[in-house]
Amino acid sequence: MKTIDVLLYIPNLIDYFRICLLVLAWYYFDKPIVFLTLYATQALLDAVDGWAARKFNQVSKFGSWLDVIIDNIGRGIIWTRVSSIGIFISSIEWITFLALNSHGSDWKSKLSSNNDLIIRNVMKNGFQTPFGFLTIVLGMHGLPIIIYTIKYRLLFDASSFLLQNIKIICIIGRLFSLYCEIYVIYLFITEDLLK
């Protein structure tokens, strides 16, 4: 397979479009409706690129790498603008990405069979469990969006009971994410991920 072919895979073309949407989202960050529309569109395309990769048998190391890079950039855009700890969270996500990818593409299978109960439950079925949803979707992806929504007073009053409870659930998910990230970084430092 030629490199140019992989670069032009349908899921990778979708990801290039996601990058364009994120650039526009960054530009319109202070216009909440425009920002959320652009950001939500690229987030929905994140699901579409995975579907396209499987549907057209165009799964590649480059594509899986690019997908996570775009996710980190997207979350970093929000985190660094809505929270004083945003740079810390974004940095931890990037360090985790580097730690995982330094050991090859089979990191998911290595972590899925890990002895740690939290790691195993987050990783089970490719994150597609209630615990994985809480940790990845609500904690990593949802929390910065909820904070953005509160900051710009969208949808609900910032003090609304519903919004505050959603925020608490997302914070719990993000704490599980942080646990997993620190665990992965520890495994990388001690080289236990190789085993």
Question: Where in the sequence numbering do the catalytic residues fall?
Answer: 71
> Which residues, 6+ apart, have CB-to-CB distance to 180 below 8 Å?
96, 118, 119, 122, 135
CB 141 within 8 A of CB 75: yes
CA pair distance 120, 61, nearest whole angstrom: 23
CB 112 within 8 A of CB 124: yes
Which residue has 């899986």 as its token pair? 64
Which residue has 């652009």 as its token pair? 38
Q: How many helices (H) and strands (E) does the chain have?
A: 10, 0
At 89 the three-state DSSP class reads helix
| CA atoms in the 13 A half-sphere facing the CB of 126 | 2
